[in-house]
Amino acid sequence: MKWGVIGTGNMGEILIDSWMSSHVIEENNLYITNRTINKAYSIKERYPSVHVCEDVYHLVEKVDIIYICVKPLEIHPLLVGLYGSLRKDQCIVSITSPYSVARLESLVPCQVARMIPSITNRALSGVTLASFGEQITKEMKAYLLQSSRIYSTPKIIEDNITRMASDIVSCGPAFFGYLAEQFIEAATYETDINKKMATNLTEKMFIGFGKLLEDGHYTLPELIEKVCVKGGVTGEGIKAMDQDIGELFHNLIQATHAKYQEDIDKVNNQMLGG
């Protein structure tokens, strides 16, 4: 099959790099375009056989699967414009959470899926969150799932947990990366360790931490129990965290969900002509 990508910003580029690294698709079967076309050509510099389409309609004409990697408010006008060019056997794949598959199906005459990626896919790891429309064929659904298994772990989700699942899978690396940065800053302020050393040690810790979980040595509670020896230093650190963490993660989830609802409301208003 031939794949297309409309939008080669951060996540579009991460997906393309993931696909090329995992060889899920050959370069000459990938067609890409972007509003700022130079961004697409910069990707072609790395993958010379990838096709850059300066016209979105030309891309749609050439491919079987169309990944929509643009901002939420750009999706409606894009799909309205493409409606007459889409074939029933094609599949639109959105990577953004505010658009449900039901809403996408109302805008196009073809098959629909939502496949929300993570930056961890760039390391051929992490999760892809998958949802499928009513009109998608068993063959297309199986193809998308099997393809995503080559560079990630696909998880089929219901619409009601889309935002929370995205918080964990897609936003999680940034959230925990931010916490790690704060840990490093505190370490360099409170002790004699320099930032370069603290950063290196933290990064190596994260890599080892992930391997412990990936290889099934411990669950998260087991890992804490193993490190947190009774009366030891780690235990004192956990106590300090327990006292100060408060409503941090509750507030975080409330903030992301409030933004999610705001985006949905904007999409609703746009579709209603508001």
CATH code of 148's domain: 3.40.50.720
Confidence of residue 272 (pLDDT cuts 50, 70, 90): confident
Please give the pLDDT value at position 274: 53
pLDDT tens readout for residues 185-235: 999 999 999 999 999 999 999 999 999 999 999 999 999 999 988 789 999
Range 16-36 average pLDDT: 97
Residue 152 belongs to some domain of the structure: yes
Residue 260 belongs to some domain of the structure: no
Same domain, 93 and 196: no
Same domain, 131 and 50: yes
Q: Are 76 and 267 in contact (CB under 8 A)?
A: yes
Same domain, 149 and 13: yes
CB-based burial label for 75 (10 Å; 0-12, 13-18, 19+): buried
Same domain, 174 and 237: yes
Residue 198 belongs to some domain of the structure: yes
Number of domains the chain contains? 2
Please give the pLDDT value at position 249: 96
Q: Which residues contact 17 (CB under 8 A, 6 or more apart)?
A: 122
Residue 268 belongs to some domain of the structure: no
Range 138-154 average pLDDT: 98
Pairing between β-strand 3-6 and β-strand 65-68 as defined by DSSP bridges: parallel
Same domain, 243 and 131: no
Residue 263 belongs to some domain of the structure: no
Residue 89 belongs to some domain of the structure: yes
Q: Which two tokens stand for residue 83?
A: 């409606």
Same domain, 14 and 143: yes
Residue 137 belongs to some domain of the structure: yes
pLDDT tens readout for residues 79-130: 999 999 999 999 999 999 999 999 999 999 999 999 999 999 999 999 999 9
Residue 258 belongs to some domain of the structure: no
Same domain, 149 and 172: no
Please give the pLDDT value at position 220: 94
Confidence of residue 254 (pLDDT cuts 50, 70, 90): very high
Give CA–CA dist 66/56, Å, rounded: 11
Structural domain containing residue 89: 3-157
Give CA–CA dist 39/260, Å, rounded: 27
Same domain, 143 and 201: no
Confidence of residue 174 (pLDDT cuts 50, 70, 90): very high
Using the structure block, give the residue that is written with the tokens 């063959």. Answer: 139
